[in-house]
Amino acid sequence: MAYELSPEHEMFRRSVREFAEAEIAPYAAQWDRDHHFPIDVVKKMGALGLMGLTAPEEYGGAGLAGEDGGFTSLCLAIEEIGRVDQSMGITLEAAVGLGINPILTYGTDEQKQTWLPELVSGDKLAGFGLTEPGAGSDAGATRTKAVLTDGEWVVNGAKQFITNSGSEITSLVTVTARTGERDGGRPELSTIIVPGGTPGFTAEKAYDKLGWHASDTHPLSFEDVRVPEANLLGDRGRGYAQFLATLDDGRVAIAALAVGCIQACLDLSLQYAGERQTFGGPIGRKQGVAFQISDLQVMLDASRLLTYKAADMKDQMEAGNAVSTKDFKQAAAVAKLYATESAVTATRIATQVFGGYGFMEEYPVARFYRDAKVLEIGEGTSEVQRMLIARGLGLPVE
């Protein structure tokens, strides 16, 4: 059965595309060259309502429940922003999926009232502190600790590769930490809200990255950081389950970002193949070029359908319809794996279509080429996705 977006979703897509082409596309190359994080554009995305698509109206959000396709709307926004600039696409994805949604899903009423309004408006950002120098895919190897002492959590440790964690408008980071041990020596993991500016909490110098030059990414350190006991996010000892659920949603959102990348590669390649003349005609006349661009269309269609299917399953779950968590997890892993690996391939094809010009930074395909690789890594590597898919098929893979 073909999956089609509703007229409302199509109208929303067009509005985001118009915004992206007017407010982001003309400046993306310069931001990339300058490694500039455009806070003004982040706030404009908030003003457009993109940060609050999945948040209730009481916090300033759009109030799009599952039956309204709120998560699908978010994925459409990420796709359209990512079509012109992957850095701003990941900024939006992380702002909502990793910043807002954990508080929205697991926070107390007081935590929501305290943090969500500014995050939903785009005036502030939040980071999600999971990955560590020795604990990425193996999140159970987390070494950051939080000890409850005299009504305060005392946090010590380090995180790395954390998006939206050290900007001028970052208000907090949710941090996964060991808060004890379970039977058999397994770590008890919990999630703690650490506000920006808390003594001992430092966002170290921003990374010099291969791509995503205009996004905000830092290593973080915590030295005897003290926050109130009430800053526990969700139930104590449920941190592992919380971030697994957060990553499931994030995988679909990253797949949407990959779809935007593939769409950009197709658009740019089609335009160039029609303009570039060799041997008395456009290069698009040559089968060697035409066939490669045809492959881009196939990858785009397949990636988009897998992503929209997973996003719709999330909305159906939120609406209380008969979609199991297991089925959604499988669909999320499949979409993430296929779309991100296709995006990397698409950027290679687009660069090849452009030939020598594709190797020049003045052409956007070079930026997309650099940006794409991390899509296979963030929110769970391709290897992790294959492991999850295999387990979903009933294979006892380790």
d(C-alpha 344, C-alpha 373), whole Å = 6
For tokens 């309502």, what's the residue?
A: 49
What confidence score (pLDDT) does residue 2 get? 52
**379 tagged catalytic:** yes
Question: Going residue by residue through the chain (398 aa), what tens digit of pLDDT does each one get?
Answer: 456 889 999 999 999 999 999 999 999 999 999 999 999 999 999 999 999 999 999 999 988 877 788 999 999 999 999 999 999 999 999 999 999 999 999 999 999 999 999 999 999 999 999 999 988 778 778 999 999 999 999 999 999 999 999 999 999 999 999 999 888 778 899 999 999 999 999 999 999 999 999 999 999 999 999 999 999 999 999 998 898 899 999 999 999 999 999 999 999 999 999 999 999 999 999 999 999 999 999 999 999 999 999 999 999 998 889 899 999 999 999 999 999 999 999 999 999 999 999 999 999 999 999 999 999 999 999 999 999 999 999 999 88
Count of alpha carbons within 13 angstroms of residue 52, beta-carbon side? 24
What confidence score (pLDDT) does residue 1 get? 45
Per CATH, which fold does 7-123 belong to?
A: Butyryl-Coa Dehydrogenase, subunit A; domain 1 (1.10.540)
Q: Where are the domains of the chain?
A: 7-123, 127-237, 240-392
- Output the CA–CA distances (angstroms, integers) from residue 189 to 144, 201, 240, in the order listed: 10, 19, 6
Residues 6 or more apart from 119 whose CB is under 8 A from it?
51, 95, 99, 100, 103, 125, 126, 171
Per CATH, which fold does 127-237 belong to?
A: Butyryl-CoA Dehydrogenase, subunit A; domain 2 (2.40.110)
Annotated active-site residue in 21, 379, 383, 398: 379
CATH homologous superfamily for 240-392?
A: Butyryl-CoA Dehydrogenase, subunit A, domain 3 (1.20.140.10)
- Nearest of 307, 257, 241 to residue 105 by alpha carbon: 241
Write a three-state SS string for 91-109.
HHHHHHHHHHHHHHHHCCH
- Model pTM above 0.85: yes
